Amino acid sequence: MTTALITGATAGIGAAFARRLAAGGTSQSVGVGSGHNLVLVARDTERLQHQATELHDLHGIEAEVLTADLATDEGIAAVEKRLGDRTHPIDLLVNNAGFGNKGRFLDVSMGDELTMLKVHCEAVLRLTSAAVTGMRERGRGGVVNVSSVAAFVPRGTYGASKAWVVQFTQGVARDLTGSGVRLMVLCPGFTRTEFHSRAGMGTDNIPNWMWLDADKLVSAALSDLARGKVVSIPDPRYKALMGAVKLAPRGLLGGLTAKTGRKYGPK
């Protein structure tokens, strides 16, 4: 049985990945079976343990708990160490941990901005490197880096950090062509999770049609991974919107995103 490691696993998109992978594999790059064993990574040990027990009881898989704060060097190093364990290899890494800051640039402290870059960029860089080193040696494996459609529009530090994730993943995927290791960046739109409430963000101005279901999103993403896609925008509505974004003047995009506010960044 293959093993997947998921960061930010206790809620939202990360929890949906955990449920889907425990129930049954869908990616050819990491094998297909009755389910994946899991390494669940987050900051809340109690929630992790409850989640691990529930997934084990439901699907008969082994679920390992790893408490780590990816805003710290110690937390990142702990996950790097687990990814580098050759005796218990990781076949699929899902870099999902992330957060939003409420407020526009200069409304948010520099400390919070730097923490965002630590989690969204440095952690993704280091964990991807730790994972693909062993995967390339074994000739198989996969990495899903969770970005956002905010990567494609001007949205301050959040959008800039997610744009970095897109470019980084595409570059590494190209460099590892032919190695047996697949990389994909997932770019969801507004998804019904704890993301906005945790940051104290309002969502009243977001139309209902723009909201995505986390479980359906993850199923579509894993199908895209199995097909070898490098960039996944797993919903026709957002694919159409991002197509329109490519044609819109940058000045217009800046005005639109300023009206909604950086605090409404999708995920």
Quick one: angle between helices 156-175 and 123-138, nearest 10?
20
Residue 96 · residue 40 · CB < 8 Å: no
**pLDDT at res. 234:** 83
Strand order of the β-sheet with 141-146 is 63-67, 37-42, 3-7, 92-95, 141-146, 181-186, 231-232
Name the token pair of 151. 């990567």
Please state, in angstroms and as integers, the Cα–Cα distance from residue 142 to each residue in 17, 166, 189, 261, following that order: 14, 16, 22, 34
Written as one letter, the residue type at 83 is L
| Active-site amino acid positions | 158
- Residue ranges in the chain whose pLDDT is less than 50: 27, 29, 31-33, 195-197, 199-202, 249, 251-266
pLDDT value of residue 203: 52
- How far is it, in rounded angstroms, from Cα 36 to Cα 7? 15
Q: According to the model, what pLDDT value does residue 264 have?
A: 35
Set out the domains of the chain in order of their start, with CATH numbers: 3-264 (3.40.50.720)
The pTM for the full model equals 0.85
pLDDT of residue 245: 66
Which pLDDT tens digit goes with each residue over 59-78?
999 999 999 999 999 999 99
Q: What is the 3-state secondary structure (H, E, C) of the chain?
A: CCEEEEECCCCHHHHHHHHHHHHCCCCCCCCCCCCCEEEEEECCHHHHHHHHHHHHHHHCCCEEEEECCCCCHHHHHHHHHHHCCCCCCCCEEEECCCCCCCCCCCCCCHHHHHHHHHHHHHHHHHHHHHHHHHHHHHCCEEEEEECCHHHHCCCHHHHHHHHHHHHHHHHHHHHCCCCCEEEEEECCCCECCCHHHHCCCCCCCCCHHHCECHHHHHHHHHHHHHCCCCEECCCHHHHHHHHHHHHCCHHHHHHHHHHHCHHHCCC
Checking phi first, is residue 156 left (phi over 0); if not, alpha (psi -120 to 50) or beta? Answer: left
